[in-house]
Structure 1
Amino acid sequence: EFPKLFKGTVNLELRAIVAQQSTKLNEMGATVEELKRENGERPKVAFSASLSESKGPNSDDVILAYKHVFNNIGEAYSPVTGIFRAPVNGVYYFTYTAFTTSSKGRRVSLYKNGLVMVTVTDDVSDSEDGGTNGVTLQLDAGDEVYTRLMEGFNIFDDNNHHSTFTGFLLFT
């Protein structure tokens, strides 16, 4: 059996350790609550849509309005205009797929505020092609991103959703 003095020392040391661990646990709990609050405050922005019908060829370039919306979290994409408008400053990722079954070819570009960022082009030597492109963009709130079908080209889509446009916020 431990001498009484040793028992008292062990008891004091254990109480000190318990108090120390209790303080650390409380600090970690406060950190978890702060992270939950911060995560809940972060904007959630994501959309994905398909054309649902073929377009072109046209005598002018046209913005493509992807009318079949799979999701539109944050309501930043307009299926009426085909334009995504950034609700907050941040880094976003966009991707689009353009499919054609025509000998007219396909050329679809993704724009940020009227400037071409990336393009998908078809080789007209065959009768059927699909192409995909994607880009990460730093946007300010209000910046616009959309795809545009170039003059004289076409794009195919139907209820199988071959031609799509997707974007989401990576971080602010």
Structure 2
Amino acid sequence: MQRKAQKIGDKRIHIFRMTTKPNIISILALICLTGFVAPQDVRRPPPGRCRGGFSVRKADQRTLTIGGKVGFQEVLTNTGGWSQSTNDFQAPCNGVYYFSFHAISPQNGDFTLALMKGRLYQVTAYGSKNDFQQGSNSVLLVLNAGEKVHLELQQGTIYEHPFNEAYTSFSGFLVEAF
């Protein structure tokens, strides 16, 4: 980054020119040097730029079958890609995505829950049989546009609170598009 001071009238201004492709360090340096913070609407991605992410909670007990997709009762956030009707996330563009999921076993049961990319498992979580044990996992995955990710119950069952609390969650978002 190059910096050049210039006087206009009685005010001195600084002109910054990026000498390389901007990255987070150069942007933060520019903010520190100038004290400039963009208004909220300026920081939003421009139209047409890829974005996607979701967070869902509270497993739907009707979907908890061995080898089946886990469905969720509530969508907390969906900035693109999550389908409530098919219980999966479809990548809106090529990129690296981060996913995390959590669940609890019933008091006298256990479970194995897998994050699936298409028909292939990527990571699993296990909750053991001793008094409501939790299982969770997270992963970074490279996805092509259109590829789908979902949770699958591989064995056992998940405990979900019978009222308003939610013990099961699944979240994911685009880290970097390419």
Instruction: Report the TM-score when normalising by structure 2.
Output: 0.70
What does 1:136-155 align with in structure 2 at a 5 Å threshold? 136-151=140-155, 153-155=156-158
Q: Give the corresponding residue for 1:164.
A: 169
Q: Does 1:99 align with 2:104?
A: yes
1:141 and 1:133 mapped to 2: Cα distance? 23
Structure 2 contact 51–92 (Cα < 8 Å) conserved: no
Q: Unaligned 5+ residue runs, structure 1?
A: 1-16
Higher percent of residues as strand: 2
1:171 and 1:136 mapped to 2: Cα distance? 11
Q: CA deviation at 1:102?
A: 3.6
Q: Give the corresponding residue for 2:69.
A: 63
Higher percent of residues as helix: 1
Q: Does 1:129 align with 2:133?
A: yes
What does 1:111-122 align with in structure 2 at a 5 Å threshold? 111-122=116-127
Q: What SS does the aligned partner of 1:155 have?
A: coil
Larger Rg: 1
Q: What SS does the aligned partner of 2:46 have?
A: helix
Q: Give the corresponding residue for 1:25.
A: 15
2:64 and 2:70 mapped to 1: Cα distance? 12
Instruction: Report the TM-score when normalising by structure 1.
Output: 0.72
Q: CA deviation at 1:69?
A: 0.3
Equivalent residues, number: 148
Q: Does 1:84 align with 2:74?
A: no
Q: Give the corresponding residue for 1:43.
A: 50
% same residue = 28
2:142 and 2:83 mapped to 1: Cα distance? 20
2:43 and 2:158 mapped to 1: Cα distance? 44
Pair 1:39–1:73, CA change in 2 (3 A): closer
2:116 and 2:170 mapped to 1: Cα distance? 12
